[in-house]
């Protein structure tokens, strides 16, 4: 079953940032699809830098807790392990999608 993952900002941003940050989607048999935020001006308030590769995406995880689309807390190590197990799965890019230098697929627009 496909599952979307979100970041809930904590700390100072918790009271100011009403939007959760979409991190990406896991689908069995497919590689993990990462959500890109190339322009911080159009990103959720917690995202203040361009997110266009795994390193910049990984920084998002320092901002708060990770939850799945059903509201369940996800342990960070479990999410990273899931991403690793999905490397090498089926994958394709469409429209504005792109790959970072490591071959991770990023989507710079909202998706579900």
Mean pLDDT of 53-69: 95
pLDDT (0 to 100) of residue 48: 95
Query: Across the strands, what pairs with 79?
Result: none
- Please state the pTM of the whole predicted model: 0.87
Q: Position of tokens 């970041």?
A: 7
- What integer best gives the mean pLDDT of the chain? 88
66, 79 Cβ separation under 8 angstroms:
yes
* Sign of CA pseudo-dihedral 60, 64, 67, 71: negative
Which burial class, exposed, middle or buried, applies to 104 when counting CB atoms under 10 A from its CB (0-12, 13-18, 19+)?
buried
Mean pLDDT of 70-91: 88
Q: Is residue 87 very low, low, confident or very high in pLDDT (cuts 50, 70, 90)? A: confident
Query: Across the strands, what pairs with 10?
Result: none
């Amino acid at each position: 079953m496909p599952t979307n993952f979100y970041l809930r900002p904590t700390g100072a941003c918790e009271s100011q940032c009403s939007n959760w940050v979409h991190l990406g989607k896991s689908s069995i048999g497919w590689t993990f699809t990462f959500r890109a935020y190339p322009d911080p001006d159009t990103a959720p308030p917690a995202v203040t830098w361009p997110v266009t590769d795994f390193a910049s995406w990984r920084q998002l995880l320092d901002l708060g807790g990770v939850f799945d689309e059903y509201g369940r807390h996800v342990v960070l190590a479990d999410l990273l392990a899931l991403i690793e197990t999905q490397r090498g799965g089926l994958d394709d890019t469409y429209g504005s999608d792109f790959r970072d230098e490591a071959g991770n697929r990023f989507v710079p627009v909202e998706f579900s």
